[in-house]
Structure 1
Amino acid sequence: MADDSGSWDAVALDSERAPKVVVEPSRGRRRAGGPGGPGSAREAVRRRRNLMATAAASAVVLFASGAAWGFQEFLQGKIQTVDIDLGEGSGPKGSMNILLAGVDRRDGMSTADIKRLRLGREAGARSDTMMLMHISEDHSKVTVVSLPRDTLVNIPAHKDSEGKRVPMQQGKLTWAYSYGGRQLMKDTIEDHTGLVVDHYVEVNFLGFLKVVDAVGGVDVCTEQAIDDRASGLKLSPGTHHVDGAQALAFARARHGLGEDIGRMQRQQVFLSSLLKQSLSKIKDPVRGTKVLNAMLESVRVDAGLKKDAPKLADQFKDLSLDDVEFAKVPIANQAGSALIGGVNQSVVLWDESEARKLFKRIDRDEPLAEPKPTATATAASKPITIPPEQISVQVRNGTGVTGVAKKASAGLTAAGFRASWLMGVVQRQNTKPTVIRYGPARADSVRTLAASIPFAKLQKVDALGTRIEVVVGSEWAKPKAVKTAAEQAAPEYETRTAAQNLCG
């Protein structure tokens, strides 16, 4: 795809065969860059804008279909699959990460359609938009993170279209698809984010248009007038109800409107509005069938996701706009540069430390924006300095009920502690309160443990030395997750729910 400088990144795909990189000089002036291909820079930039909206539409498929009366067999049969190695993957239970990719495919489009939508003359399949969608452990919350296409990454070693081994190399994230298709793109994203991709969804922009029209259009809003010659969109300030073609133009409009950051915000407004419309229409058996058909015809997924679609749909039936959260990757420099292959490239540089923390919190289902501690709570106790993973705890049964110590040990382990349980019961049986017994050298560690099980009583025992024991009482409750003072001071990340993104 073309970047804003006019350099051209492209890949020509023939059906499902391995991608072949095409490198030819463009007809207009261009700077040397990454993978190349034919076509003017202006057409390439237009195509890029189209694709920026397509991955967003794919997220709606899972959300909206889950609110329907369920995936009927004939609807599930319409889902097309793609070949991609995802390891064992994830079933319909537990948390999962889904890679959403926008691909420029023109199946079923006429020459008139391509001209009307100003898509350029070059056919093929190209990946330009990438998002990671995380579904929480209990499937009650969805977090969507957009991945900038020009992110500087290390592209893993792979084989090219001729089967030759290519060593690991630096490049832009979008190049991974050009070099090795969806498989290499997935591998690159896993390496750069630290997350494991469980499922894959691919969507084309023609399907995007059909979905918007199927729901009867969407509301979009703008604080300033839009008169974008590249997309042909003209809107006055305020809220407008737009059809598929207008919505696509709204998502791709860029110059003079906050550039890439402004465009990303408009796309979030659009997706939130599309989600709202989909949830309202999908419950109607007549209109819902039309909407679902449009959605399912626009996507292709991995085989595992297709298999689990009915169960996932049922689990998503209660999803609301407040349950869908959009997050931004922490950026160090959105106009950075890097010397790649002897050529200076414009790239997006992440704040690597904060980005890793973001994805780790997402993977753990931890909130990205947490309430600030009150002054009273801060002053009432000393700060926690020792993390749970550095604390070893021996668990004893103080109730006389078989299995209590083992269960309590499992709970402490789940909270991050290194817990082990001892056979038998202590002499004092049938006690109600849980007791934390510790040696004088472990006072700092005990503060962490006491924060995790605040219902317990503390008892300092000199003879324990460096050991910590938990004597489980009948009032035992599930331990809480605990963070150190340094972890609590971690920055909040910029997020907005789908409900907050609506025009209003």
Structure 2
Amino acid sequence: MVALVPRSQPSRTEGTSADAAARDLPGTGRLPRGRHASHQHGVAYRLLRAAGVGVLGLSVVAAGGGAYAWYRLQGNINAESITDRLGIRPDTEATVDPTTGQSALNVLVMGSDTRELADGTGDEYGGLEAAEGARSDTTVLVHLAADRRSATLVSIPRDSMVQIPDCTADDGTVVAAHRGQFNSAFSEGGTACTVKTVESVTDVLIDHYAVVDFSGFRSMIDALGGVTICTPEDIEDRKANLYLPAGTHEDVDGETALAYARVRYIGDGSDISRIGRQQALMSSMVQKVLSSDVLLRPDRLFSFLDAATKSVTTDPELASLNQMRQLAQSLQKMPADGVRFVTVPNEPDPRNDARVVWTAAADELWRQIRTDTTPGATPSPSPTASTDPSTSSALTIPPQRISVQVLNVGGETGAAGRAAQALGALGFTVTGTGDGEATASTEGVHVRYGPDRADSAATVTASFPGATSAVDPALGRGIVVEVGTGAPAPVDVSARLVTPSTPTSTGGATPEPTITARVATDDICA
């Protein structure tokens, strides 16, 4: 079971007595109960096979508890169907592997910090008064290759600025499309909005999803008897109530591990550095799950699976233990170095350096996920940069291959709907309409597009006489049409379409993007 953790603990009242009281609160971190060692402990275990071994271990559990264990674990899992709220979805570009007969699978795993915890301990974190609702500050896309010989876990930074599509929230209210921080999709529109946002900005089809609350993370580690963590520097953080000397710590309990994963004010304090710690911690959990003292202990294995299943909500298909068992069996031949951890390539947002936007390397990463190639390997050559779509005369992408969102940024009531209807008649796919704030002008039409969508944006821009356009890194693979006052109706530009043969740009070639991956066999302290 892949376990994820939420964002850092809110600040507590400072002062000697308050600090002392805070240290006694479960789940907020403390001095580790386990042993401290100066040596480094390498990780040579397979992350995805951990899930496989865990589910297959039900046969061991059954020896101690019989059918009761199976039905209890099955009954723990909550299922939620969100398909009817996802709208138009991406097509899959990968093919079935001839050896396994399997297709690639993409599972989106979200860590929720709701105080309505599965084990009823939400009051220990301040209850709903401290943080009403739920946020997903840790989101990982798990990509299982069709040959089941590799897997990639892509961490999506919570602070990424992206284009969030229009979403229908759990209570039926509609959240209008807007540019926002990635993790706001979950707090504003729930699981469905997060899945829809990921599909919109990456063009990657999500096959399954799972939401895990942090009580499950804490309980799973305790059920394992603790895990190993490594910190390169002393940690003395009163806000997270975490105190650890530098070095490697073995048998760290769930409360301390949770605080370590959530702490923000160490290192450079960024979400990116926290993601690195979480990836190492997940590797450590895998090591412990695969160790013989867990697999050969039915009581401990059952406690781990019981904690995991109590705290997870999945799509109906993945909620079946039998489905999990079949998936686990398909992963048994995955080599140790076939598991990679990747963080979406990013850079500071030009509008706010406390946030990040995805770089051109992110487009290459999502292309590799869509086509089921290995992220982090040598990237394919990038195409020569296209000219500004507002001035390009040669159009290479037909409307039938282009999806857009349409926003009214100052036009008459219904302007977005009319433009969307006209675009649909020309062959474009409209994924949503709504109101929005103008990023360029409240007059005419302005087209925003993701870094690798210049050719598609050229067709969209040319369809609106006099329209302007600009690249927007927050859009990923999306295209947004902003409709203002006096916006012209779109026109048919099919006569300008040509088959690309040579680059139309006079500029130099775009540098090949770099994707950095952490392999599961890497040193946990690296």
Smaller-chain TM-score bracket: 0.5 to 0.7
CA–CA separation in structure 2 for the residues paired with 1:68 and 1:320: 19
Task: Identify the match of residue 356 of structure 2 among 334, 348, 373.
Answer: 348
Which AA in structure 2 matches 1:135?
L
In structure 1, what is the equivalent of residue 410 of structure 2?
Answer: none
Which AA in structure 2 matches 1:366?
T
Task: Identify the match of residue 310 of structure 1 among 320, 325, 337.
Answer: 325
Query: Aligned runs of 1:31-430 on 2, under 5 Å?
Result: 62-66=51-55, 68=57, 73-74=70-71, 75-85=73-83, 93-103=102-112, 104=114, 105-110=116-121, 113-114=124-125, 121-159=130-168, 163=172, 166-241=175-250, 242-260=252-270, 261-280=272-291, 281-284=293-296, 286=298, 287-307=300-320, 308-319=323-334, 321-333=336-348, 336-337=350-351, 346-351=354-359, 353-370=360-377
CA–CA separation in structure 2 for the residues paired with 1:173 and 1:67: 35
8 Å Cα contact 2:165/2:197 also seen in 1: yes
8 Å Cα contact 1:67/1:317 also seen in 2: no
- C-alpha offsets along residues 429-454 of structure 1, whole Å, 9 cap, x if unaligned? xxxxxxxxxxxxxxxxxxxxxxxxxx
Change (3 A) 1:263 1:178: closer
Superposition CA RMSD, Å? 4.3
Cα displacement (A) at 1:166: 5.0
Cα displacement (A) at 1:207: 0.7
CA–CA separation in structure 2 for the residues paired with 1:97 and 1:65: 20
CA–CA separation in structure 1 for the residues paired with 2:217 and 2:174: 37
In structure 2, what is the equivalent of residue 478 of structure 1?
Answer: none
Change (3 A) 1:162 1:324: closer
Aligned length: 342
Change (3 A) 1:224 1:166: closer
CA–CA separation in structure 2 for the residues paired with 1:150 and 1:284: 41
In structure 2, what is the equivalent of residue 55 of structure 1?
Answer: none
Change (3 A) 1:179 1:370: closer
- C-alpha offsets along residues 264-315 of structure 1, whole Å, 9 cap, x if unaligned? 2211111110111012255225132222222222211111112422211222
Range moving further from structure 2, 244-253 or 260-269: 260-269
Range moving further from structure 2, 310-319 or 271-280: 310-319
Unpaired segments ≥5 residues, structure 1: 7-42, 44-48, 51-57, 339-344, 374-382, 387-485
Which AA in structure 1 matches 2:120?
M
Cα displacement (A) at 1:164: 5.8
CA–CA separation in structure 1 for the residues paired with 2:102 and 2:518: 26
CA–CA separation in structure 2 for the residues paired with 1:226 and 1:309: 38
Task: Between the two structures, name the one with larger relative contact order (CA 8 Å, sep ≥ 6).
Answer: 2
Q: Secondary structure at the match of 1:305?
A: coil
Unpaired segments ≥5 residues, structure 2: 1-5, 11-21, 23-27, 30-46, 63-69, 385-507
8 Å Cα contact 1:193/1:359 also seen in 2: yes
Work out which of the two has the higher radius of gyration on C-alpha atoms and give 1 or 2. 1
CA–CA separation in structure 1 for the residues paired with 2:379 and 2:123: 56
Which AA in structure 2 matches 1:355?
A
Change (3 A) 1:69 1:489: farther
Q: Secondary structure at the match of 2:183?
A: helix
In structure 2, what is the equivalent of residue 445 of structure 1?
Answer: none
Change (3 A) 1:63 1:498: farther
CA–CA separation in structure 2 for the residues paired with 1:363 and 1:327: 15
CA–CA separation in structure 2 for the residues paired with 1:59 and 1:336: 37
